[in-house]
Structure 1
């Protein structure tokens, strides 16, 4: 993360995908693998205890593991090497059972699912904040007259609440689709080099099921090393969400131009200032969301382009996907967090909205002014808005009270 894109994300999601968090997630895989294997009688319980005892991220030189991954071609290889060294120091008899039957992709894919789950929890929380804020704005301004604009020109009168409902609906749909996509994509990966789990003597499916339960992930029933459809589908949903947020940000920034002056992001010390012009109030949240909307399509395109993978393990394609995934998550949460922070306090100038309508009406023939730009048209838009809001509110509440897509082990 560089000086130029750090402020486009959030500290929380940066932490979720940090080197230490990812190594910790890989160690959780190794610990639960040994525990599950001990439970089904594949390895001694004492070996599993020794392995679990060594799977503490503070015992590892994370920076060295990252450096060594370049030569090894996988971050899992130096991790497993370090883990074996640590286990051998305390219980040499447990050494043959470290990473038994696992592969580099097994540990990395599972770790990516774990850290992604944490990032998705951040996204879901901020998505709820944004939805709630738009519900309130749409209700408050259901009949507030505003110019509707098509092809960047005045088209007719609508209501600001109707406009907010148009921002809101895609977010509610994204909330539902992300829930389903996450349920399908967040799976444990365990399949051996060719999916046989040969080293586990027929106990592979039972081991995978126990690992899934312990980690709070799904059991896909088979390896998905080069079956990336569900995983990439989740990435596509994140891209759609980021695009929907970009649309909101673009509207806000256009309506916030001085010559229009209909809305403004909340003002606070140090926010949106200029290094040269003290009178400026730059729409910083909209800027962050728009930057994400410009970057996300390329991230999603890379995920799609990486789907054709060679045989049972990819050379290059999977590695490209891994590199893009955190960047997509960071853009999505950065955009959402920025807008969720300003939508509740969005400054709406209803007087200016009405003045813009009146100014236009004064320049038009009477018939055109009355047919298309009568402020009373906002009442009709308001009635439509309130009906739409009732349906959206019900959908959102159903999502919030529904059982989680997957029961998460509280200790996971």
Structure 2
């Protein structure tokens, strides 16, 4: 899922999470859960379910072969199910006929992606939480430290660096709140068979599909969708949109820090660590590499979300091309989001703040202006007004952050 140019813009954990092996493993979790639920309601024999569950171990499968065969099949699910049936048959020939019973390829793929996405969101949330907490700590520490407020890239007035940090933190806290709510709706079991009716999952006149869905949702800790969402992608794409907003907020922080870290400004610097931010031929350089990663994500993520929005007009009960395009975009989206979140969490946790340089830059502006302008717009005492607002904003954001449930 990655290239030499992708790896340093994401994280090892995210790259591994969307590896071929992890995706196949998540699909096997779906198949095991399906068999377990169907046996619980008497839809398939318990002995068959046990054979299927015992075989749903990724080490038993040739993942590379399954991936190669998916090219001709048009879906990763088709060669996986074929291989699962063949492997189950080696141990229990009768059980093979109950593999993937009453379901379809999109059911297994969408549910597998929901499982992987939940794990990715957990990693993202932890890093964003860390970034927001670091910003709130900086805000409290520098609540009254004056710094130039800048508009149109020019000095505008005086604020406090603490208020600037509180302003960076607030959108991150709001994004975490929205992501939590949106994920609760989007991360659902996909189960509906070819046309979403679960028609095959019945015993006599008794429809067992809803029970199977409920059992799988509980087992996999996903939402129990009221019906199949094969071509109803609003909740899923809404989650992507929320991630894009988060990346935009992280990119805004990165842009500001990068500007304040320029040599001519010198007010901030990313943490100083061996091998971090060096140059190939200029040993004096100190490149803001965390900001670089976050800004790269802010450039790329909107394009991925635009592609996801474009895939939403899907045909009837199963899409031809649009769903497949969506699948191809999704891993790259989450890998970029986690890369941005991790980069800024690392930068903000060790951000170096030069309050003396901030004051020197302010004094340099004051020296160039008439006294009445200096008094009205560039009086360092204005930072005290900002400090009062900073402390109230920090209290609100801290309480909101504490109320969030991290995965």
Q: Could you tell me the TM-score, scaled by structure 2's length? A: 0.98
- C-alpha deviation, 1:398, in angstroms: 1.3
1:390 to 386, 395, 399: 395
> Which residue number corresponds to residue 59 of structure 1?
60
- C-alpha deviation, 1:400, in angstroms: 3.8
Flag structure 1 segments of 5+ consecutive residues without an equivalent.
Answer: 405-412
The 1-side partners of 2:34 and 2:271 are apart by: 50
> Which residue number corresponds to residue 308 of structure 2?
303
- C-alpha deviation, 1:107, in angstroms: 0.1
The 2-side partners of 1:352 and 1:301 are apart by: 41
- C-alpha deviation, 1:155, in angstroms: 0.4
> Which residue number corresponds to residue 198 of structure 2?
197
> Which residue number corresponds to residue 161 of structure 1?
162
Question: Is structure 2 residue 48 aligned with structure 1 residue 68?
Answer: no
SS in 1 for 2:159: strand
The 1-side partners of 2:22 and 2:349 are apart by: 32
Can you list the C-alpha shifts for 1:108-159, whole angstroms capped at 9, x where unaligned? 0000000011111101111111111001000000011000000111000000
> Which residue number corresponds to residue 329 of structure 1?
334
Question: Is structure 2 residue 321 aligned with structure 1 residue 320?
Answer: no
> Which residue number corresponds to residue 88 of structure 1?
89
- C-alpha deviation, 1:198, in angstroms: 1.3
> Which residue number corresponds to residue 43 of structure 2?
42
2:356 to 335, 351, 357: 351
- C-alpha deviation, 1:13, in angstroms: 0.9
SS in 2 for 1:356: helix
Kindly report structure 1 stretches of 4+ aligned residues shifted beyond 2 Å. none
The 2-side partners of 1:268 and 1:393 are apart by: 29
> Which residue number corresponds to residue 100 of structure 2?
99
SS in 1 for 2:231: coil
- C-alpha deviation, 1:290, in angstroms: 0.3
Can you list the C-alpha shifts for 1:369-401, whole angstroms capped at 9, x where unaligned? 111001110010111111111111111111148
The 1-side partners of 2:269 and 2:118 are apart by: 34
Structure 2 matches for 1:13-412, cutoff 5 A? Answer: 13-201=14-202, 202-400=207-405
The 2-side partners of 1:284 and 1:174 are apart by: 23
The 1-side partners of 2:326 and 2:87 are apart by: 31
The 1-side partners of 2:245 and 2:13 are apart by: 22
Tell me how many residue pairs correspond in the alignment. 402
SS in 1 for 2:158: strand
The 2-side partners of 1:141 and 1:287 are apart by: 25
The 2-side partners of 1:60 and 1:213 are apart by: 27
The 2-side partners of 1:344 and 1:235 are apart by: 26
SS in 1 for 2:258: helix
Name the Cα RMSD after superposition. 0.8
SS in 2 for 1:199: coil
Q: Could you tell me the TM-score, scaled by structure 1's length? A: 0.97
SS in 1 for 2:404: helix
Can you list the C-alpha shifts for 1:264-289, whole angstroms capped at 9, x where unaligned? 00111100001111000000000000
The 2-side partners of 1:397 and 1:35 are apart by: 37
The 2-side partners of 1:292 and 1:344 are apart by: 20
SS in 2 for 1:279: coil
SS in 2 for 1:158: strand
Flag structure 2 segments of 5+ consecutive residues without an equivalent.
Answer: none
SS in 1 for 2:224: coil
The 1-side partners of 2:343 and 2:128 are apart by: 11
- C-alpha deviation, 1:29, in angstroms: 0.6
